Amino acid sequence: MSDESPSTLRPGQTFTHHGKKYKILKQIWFGPFSEVMIVKEINGNERYAMKIEKTNDPQR
């Protein structure tokens, strides 16, 4: 298994989901089918775990 993350999202990047902006703080896990990031809501102090599932994996 490679040490590289399967996602194009990286710590420090921001994104919008359902009208709220979030910042990626760090990656805490990744595997062959998904990865998990810790994200923080920009306009608040809430932190969440965000799972990103790969959709282009031929094994799925």
pLDDT digits (tens, 9 = 90+) for 17-59: 999 999 999 999 999 889 999 999 999 989 999 999 988 756 6
Position 60 in a domain? no
- Domain of 43 in residue numbering reads as 14-53
pTM of the full structure: 0.74
Position 41 in a domain? yes
Calpha distance 37→51 (Å, rounded): 7
Position 20 in a domain? yes
When divided into structural domains, the chain yields a total of: 1
Position 42 in a domain? yes
CB contact at 8 A, 59 and 35: no
Position 59 in a domain? no
Position 6 in a domain? no
